[in-house]
Structure 1
Amino acid sequence: MFYDFRPLIPLSLDRVLSGKSINSSLPIFRLPIELVSHIVPYLSPLDIRRLAFVDRDSRQLARALQFAHVELDYSSRSLELLATLRNEVDEPHDKEHRLGICIRRLTVRNTWSDFSSKESLELDDFRRLSIREQYIEAETLTKAAYLDNICSLLPHLPNLHILDWKDEEPLKPDMLGSIMSSSIRHLRLDGPLLDPSFTLTPPAGQNDWPIESLSINVGWLLTSSGPGDVTSFISSLMRLTAPTLRYLTWSGYAGQILWETPSCVDFRFPVLQEVTLDHPMLKEPTMLNTIIRKDTHIRSISVNSNPVVSQFLSCCGYIPSLDRLRWDQSHLESYDDLLEFVHNNTQLASLEVTSPLPSIIIKSIIINHGHQTFDNLTVLHLVLEGHNFSEDILTTISSITSLQRLWLSTGTQHGVRHDWTIDHEILAEALRPLSRLETLVLTRDTYAVDGHPLLDSSTERYYVNRALPRDLLLSDYLTKDELKKMDCPVIPIDEAIFLMSSLRCLAWERWHRSQMVAVAARYAETLTRLKWCFVGQLPIRVDDIKPRRAVRPMTEERDYLLRVLHVCWNADFRFY
């Protein structure tokens, strides 16, 4: 629920009006409410702002669009919004249409710098020796009051669906109580400090906390007197959310707390579908046995593994409902647990191993005792340990003819150093047997360039230095207006050097784009069902437009941070 590629749908008109009759004379309100809800999301931001000035009903409709997702970051706008919401709570009878009813998703994102810039001290205070302590105390108190104010408003936002808490300050028990009393169904706690000995209790009249998605990545206030009570918060949180939880992400801070689950764990997760375990610091697998039971309905497991987690999975055996596995075991020396789990679950439709694997391990994953492991695999993501895929490895991968989506990478996986000098002709020919392939992703690829001898044209810094081929004409990749900028006779030398560098980079980007489009066209010829590919840090669409297939980039700029790639790749993996 926390992927931004799936925008939250604003509330319908009848809900933001709270059942009140429509008094507006605007023609759009004569349409059925269902049609209005489908039409208004297509309005531009400017049209929505204009709509707010028509009348009260129109303003409430505009609010539903503008405030479906609200982010509070201690800016002046955030403080004004909080003041408006507080006024609605304190004076409920004075507001015919309320803003708070429109909010569906709330993100709390604050940093110390936000508060430092707001709070100031008198000049005389700086002459005191204790100024640093006073300043920190003032900031702390201000921030605590600010967060308390937010939490106290949560129960008064009747349509709040998602709470995304990205703040690193402590969450006190009363603040957690306000969160539990709200209407949220999806919760992410990313960064706050919690007391591990605190036990959550449901609001009055409830036996559980009906959360559907839970993502927890928190720090701990190590204030408990003994080791026996440090698991109270996690245990109570899991117990309360277990009946309704469908998506669980549990991340841990390395080296903080080794969770030792109480021996008496008598609850289960009957509707849990997706589990992500990102280094939860566990002493033993009791909680894992509760989350992933023999009769589980889990369809997706993603692990950034530690020994307890990997050993537990290797002993799980066959999980009939499991459809997708994502495994990162970058901190393990042995691959036995991965191989054991994969070979016990040959029904997988999606397999991703995001850490570099030796070629022999990749072969062992795909071929087990001389027979192909998978019958239904449609998605595969592998990273090879080394600098290039051998013909033998490519033949092994291409033997999985059921593949529809393939992501390959090798070489250095972090930083600006790329050392997979890829040969697309060899790769395209090797992948020819994958007749069902619709998506092809190649990352960390780089290219050799015959550049000017005075320029650094090394393949490892291809994307950084952006050296043009020596025979390239800039006029082929720049517009007439851009070329005219270089003809100005009175431009200062510093500006001329900067301008020339900028235009060369611009020409390189356009040349690189044209090269990658040609590469994508080559794959489209070989792989007749290909719909899009990612190559040279560019997402590229392949459309069937007669008489031949059309290839075009999906973005204007290179996706060097892989943000667009991850959005597109993960989009099909949500089960709701």
Structure 2
Amino acid sequence: MDRDISNMMITPLSGIQNDQFGKENNVRLPLLLDRVMEGRARKSESRLLQLPAELLGDIADELADDKPTLASLALVNSDCRQLARSCQFAEVCFDYSPQAIGLLHKLLDECLERQNSSRNLTIGSCIRRVTMAADVQWMARRNEKLYESIWGETSSQFTKEDTQLLREEGSKQYEAYRNCVLRVISGAMPNLEYVGWHDRYLVYEDFFALLSRSPAQHLILHRVPLNQPYILEPPVTPATWPLRSLSLSVREAFRFGADFGADEQTAPEEPLMEGQRQDTPRSMSLFYITLFQRCAPTLEFLKWSDQSIGLGGAPCSFGDTRISFPRLRTADLLYHSKLDKTVFASFLDAPLRHLCLPSHFDVDQLREPLATLGTLRHLETLVLPQVDTKEKASLLQPFLTRHPHISKLSVSEREGARGDDQFLSSQIIPLLRPDRFVNLRSLSLAFGDGTTSAERGPRSTTIPESSLEAIGKLVSLEQLCLSAGIRYGWRTQWLINHDILRKHLVGLTKLKKLAFSRDTYSPNPIFAMLDEVEGYYSMRDVGREQKAAARARPELDNSHEGLADDEIWERAHRNLMLDEADKYAVLLPDLESILCGQRPMGIRRSPGRGGPARAFPLTEERDECYTFLRRTFDIDSPVD
């Protein structure tokens, strides 16, 4: 399964319809000319090219999106060509396209030239970021017969053996391509800073041998299957792997029995390491131990996910000895449910500023590390997802109480929590006294009470007014996010009441950002008896009220003629959300942006604040804003 190239022709399913807002990356990408020249003197006597590298970098920034101008600049002379390349190739994606393969061949030539001590200027020296993410369409095009044999109209004409042979040929072709990418990453890109590996295809020991010898200090391994848990130590890897940030999501390859093996390809045999026997058992714990031993001294950011959830197995352990992370500032463990006490203790010993605990964890494994911890003096951000049992709530209460100095807090309860299982209102919010959490600037709370039941009856939820009243007293807040009910998919169940919210939040005069996620509204009254508030965004029923509301802000639209009902509904909904945002802007004098009804909006105020504040849309379409909310209210990654 993990060595089946056909899996890379399928677009992964997602319960998110639109999530574009907040994904913009404003980091300057082009490297300075002196870096990409690799110590060679500039040959041109042009006054422009005698400017300091920093000024040339600013000029390159301005040209970064102007491809025709960059192409013309590259033809002037060798110095200009390298300046243009610093923009054109600052970020490279190997997506299996003809363009990516053509670039790969050029980089392989440069790799050989470097081995022969060539002094030619290179494309590789301009590359700052590499992403390995095969595009499903290019995978299908380059394996047309395989695609046809599985999903095509003539698939019945292919035998099982034909398909299996095509799979093997496609896999070998991809593996050769993948090995070449690894080779140029390790040997042709001296200024490489970032590698993002997103191909979900089996990797072997040489994968880590080559990656660990690249200059990249920021690494993402996203859902990468390992042929086996490798032991990452010399001679496989260097003694140190000086990573600064690591987003780690790997697992051991799936193995099926004989009943499932007819279509399953067998991974090639690998040579044994020195002193290793064929039957030497390996565990993912040993893989993680040896990996962290290589990079822990320099690691500043770690996002660690467990891809074996639900498959059983022992928790990940560091054994009897903790691993020291002297520079670790961020530990995001949200999606790792199998950590033992030595692992927790190792991370809690670090000088953390930002901590996200797992959404699921063994309370017994975390109890002792938390009890002996004391206070994380430098902690700024704390994320407590899935407070879903009384035992877990009781464990986390004193931990939260010991850290009143934090500036950002995000807490959620199980989305289906009801009654006595709703610990957010009863055990967490009462701790947030404004006289103790005086530094709290950011708060995100996700309430439960959601349901996916198909039974008739109300499927809406609300946030208790007692909780809203307590939140409204946290006058230090500068940003606030609230949500309730089911958190993904088409069901939106928080039947929001903006009048009640404004009544309780009016005292938060320092608020700059306000976000309501998973909020919904009453549909057309003819459907009210069905309690179908969760289908508000999918039904989009249009009546007289919607048609009138759609015309309420003519300055935002060119024409209202000939619109389909869906377009009328979207305009009406946008305008209704802008009306609500206007009301918040009047009450909250520092408000700069608001999200409600899946519409991110900005606030425009008159100079001197003498005139009315007006909300305006920040996007053309509705957006669920998952990325924006995560980056703003939880832990933001320096590499994602």
Q: Is the 8 Å Cα contact of residues 449 and 468 (structure 1) preserved in structure 2?
A: no
Report how far residue 519 of structure 1 moved: 1.2
Alignment partners' CA distance in 1, 2:26 and 2:585: 28
Amino acid at match of 1:74: Y
Q: Is the 8 Å Cα contact of residues 322 and 345 (structure 2) preserved in structure 1?
A: no
The DSSP-based 3-state class of the residue aligned with 1:7 is coil
Alignment partners' CA distance in 2, 1:343 and 1:432: 26
Q: Is the 8 Å Cα contact of residues 195 and 233 (structure 1) preserved in structure 2?
A: no
Structure-2-length-normalised TM-score: 0.78
Alignment partners' CA distance in 1, 2:48 and 2:234: 43
> After the TM superposition, which residues 349-388 of structure 1 pair with which residues of structure 2 at under 5 Å, given as runs?
349-355=407-413, 356=415, 361-368=424-431, 374-386=437-449, 387-388=461-462
- Alignment-derived partner of residue 434 in structure 1: 508
Alignment partners' CA distance in 2, 1:48 and 1:112: 30
The DSSP-based 3-state class of the residue aligned with 1:278 is coil
- Alignment-derived partner of residue 490 in structure 1: none
Query: Is 1:41 paired with 2:61?
Result: yes
Residue from 128, 131, 134 that aligns with 1:107: 131
Residue from 340, 347, 354 that aligns with 1:291: 347
Alignment partners' CA distance in 2, 1:508 and 1:312: 54
Amino acid at match of 2:400: V
Alignment partners' CA distance in 1, 2:254 and 2:542: 56
Deviations along 1:438-460, whole A, 9 cap, x unmatched?
21111111223556889999533
- Alignment-derived partner of residue 460 in structure 1: 534
Q: Is the 8 Å Cα contact of residues 339 and 361 (structure 2) preserved in structure 1?
A: no
- Alignment-derived partner of residue 213 in structure 2: 181
Count of aligned pairs: 556
Alignment partners' CA distance in 2, 1:140 and 1:419: 45
Q: Is the 8 Å Cα contact of residues 340 and 366 (structure 2) preserved in structure 1?
A: no
Deviations along 1:346-398, whole A, 9 cap, x unmatched?
22221101334666533422324999652322211111223112322211111
Report how far residue 162 of structure 1 moved: 0.5
Query: Is 1:397 paired with 2:471?
Result: yes
Alignment partners' CA distance in 1, 2:241 and 2:617: 45
The DSSP-based 3-state class of the residue aligned with 1:552 is strand
Cα 1:177–1:228 change in 2 (3 A) is closer
Cα 1:79–1:399 change in 2 (3 A) is same
Report how far residue 259 of structure 1 moved: 3.8
Q: Is the 8 Å Cα contact of residues 231 and 261 (structure 1) preserved in structure 2?
A: yes
Deviations along 1:71-109, whole A, 9 cap, x unmatched?
101111111010010111223477732101111111111
- Alignment-derived partner of residue 345 in structure 1: 403
Query: Is 1:12 paired with 2:68?
Result: no
Report how far residue 523 of structure 1 moved: 0.9
Report how far residue 176 of structure 1 moved: 1.1
Residue from 294, 306, 328 that aligns with 2:385: 328
Amino acid at match of 1:298: L
Report how far residue 401 of structure 1 moved: 1.7
Amino acid at match of 2:407: A
Query: Is 1:506 paired with 2:557?
Result: no
Whose relative contact order is higher, 1 or 2, with alpha carbons under 8 Å and at least 6 apart?
A: 2
- Alignment-derived partner of residue 360 in structure 2: 305
- Alignment-derived partner of residue 496 in structure 1: none
Alignment partners' CA distance in 2, 1:317 and 1:398: 30
My pick for the range that moved more, 380-389 or 268-277, is 380-389
Q: Is the 8 Å Cα contact of residues 297 and 327 (structure 2) preserved in structure 1?
A: yes
- Alignment-derived partner of residue 558 in structure 1: 622
- Alignment-derived partner of residue 100 in structure 2: 78
My pick for the range that moved more, 242-251 or 254-263, is 254-263
The DSSP-based 3-state class of the residue aligned with 1:380 is strand
- Alignment-derived partner of residue 234 in structure 1: 288
Cα 1:411–1:84 change in 2 (3 A) is same
My pick for the range that moved more, 451-460 or 222-231, is 451-460
Cα 1:377–1:128 change in 2 (3 A) is closer
Amino acid at match of 1:268: S
Report how far residue 185 of structure 1 moved: 0.3
Cα 1:69–1:246 change in 2 (3 A) is same
Alignment partners' CA distance in 2, 1:457 and 1:361: 26
Q: Is the 8 Å Cα contact of residues 485 and 494 (structure 2) preserved in structure 1?
A: yes
Over the aligned positions, Cα root-mean-square deviation in angstroms equals 3.5
> After the TM superposition, which residues 145-224 of structure 1 pair with which residues of structure 2 at under 5 Å, given as runs?
145-156=176-187, 157-195=189-227, 197-201=229-233, 207-221=239-253
The DSSP-based 3-state class of the residue aligned with 1:130 is helix
Alignment partners' CA distance in 2, 1:136 and 1:205: 31
Report how far residue 463 of structure 1 moved: 1.6
Cα 1:284–1:94 change in 2 (3 A) is closer
Alignment partners' CA distance in 2, 1:259 and 1:573: 25
The DSSP-based 3-state class of the residue aligned with 1:515 is helix
Q: Is the 8 Å Cα contact of residues 202 and 240 (structure 1) preserved in structure 2?
A: no
Cα 1:248–1:206 change in 2 (3 A) is same
The DSSP-based 3-state class of the residue aligned with 1:400 is coil
Q: Is the 8 Å Cα contact of residues 585 and 614 (structure 2) preserved in structure 1?
A: no
Structure-1-length-normalised TM-score: 0.86
Alignment partners' CA distance in 2, 1:48 and 1:553: 34
Alignment partners' CA distance in 1, 2:136 and 2:626: 29
Residue from 488, 497, 519 that aligns with 2:580: 519
Report how far residue 535 of structure 1 moved: 1.2
- Alignment-derived partner of residue 482 in structure 2: 408
Report how far residue 146 of structure 1 moved: 1.2
Q: Is the 8 Å Cα contact of residues 71 and 108 (structure 1) preserved in structure 2?
A: yes
Cα 1:464–1:127 change in 2 (3 A) is closer
Alignment partners' CA distance in 2, 1:280 and 1:374: 29
Alignment partners' CA distance in 1, 2:33 and 2:107: 20
Cα 1:15–1:260 change in 2 (3 A) is closer
Cα 1:113–1:333 change in 2 (3 A) is farther
The DSSP-based 3-state class of the residue aligned with 1:181 is coil
Cα 1:6–1:333 change in 2 (3 A) is farther
Q: Is the 8 Å Cα contact of residues 201 and 225 (structure 2) preserved in structure 1?
A: yes
Report how far residue 425 of structure 1 moved: 1.7
Q: What are the ranges of 5 or more consecutive residues in structure 2 without an aligned counterpart? A: 1-21, 149-156, 256-277, 450-460
Cα 1:404–1:120 change in 2 (3 A) is closer
- Alignment-derived partner of residue 606 in structure 2: 545
Cα 1:202–1:266 change in 2 (3 A) is farther
Alignment partners' CA distance in 2, 1:521 and 1:477: 13
Alignment partners' CA distance in 2, 1:325 and 1:21: 49
Alignment partners' CA distance in 1, 2:433 and 2:531: 44
Q: Is the 8 Å Cα contact of residues 350 and 379 (structure 1) preserved in structure 2?
A: yes
Alignment partners' CA distance in 1, 2:306 and 2:531: 42
Report how far residue 59 of structure 1 moved: 2.3
Deviations along 1:479-498, whole A, 9 cap, x unmatched?
997556x4xxxxxxxxxxxx
My pick for the range that moved more, 148-157 or 191-200, is 191-200
Cα 1:307–1:372 change in 2 (3 A) is farther
Q: Is the 8 Å Cα contact of residues 11 and 102 (structure 1) preserved in structure 2?
A: yes
Report how far residue 290 of structure 1 moved: 1.9
Report how far residue 512 of structure 1 moved: 2.0
- Alignment-derived partner of residue 97 in structure 1: 121
My pick for the range that moved more, 158-167 or 470-479, is 470-479
Alignment partners' CA distance in 2, 1:513 and 1:28: 49
Q: Is the 8 Å Cα contact of residues 205 and 236 (structure 2) preserved in structure 1?
A: no
The DSSP-based 3-state class of the residue aligned with 1:353 is strand
Q: Is the 8 Å Cα contact of residues 52 and 63 (structure 1) preserved in structure 2?
A: yes
Amino acid at match of 1:305: H
Amino acid at match of 2:340: E
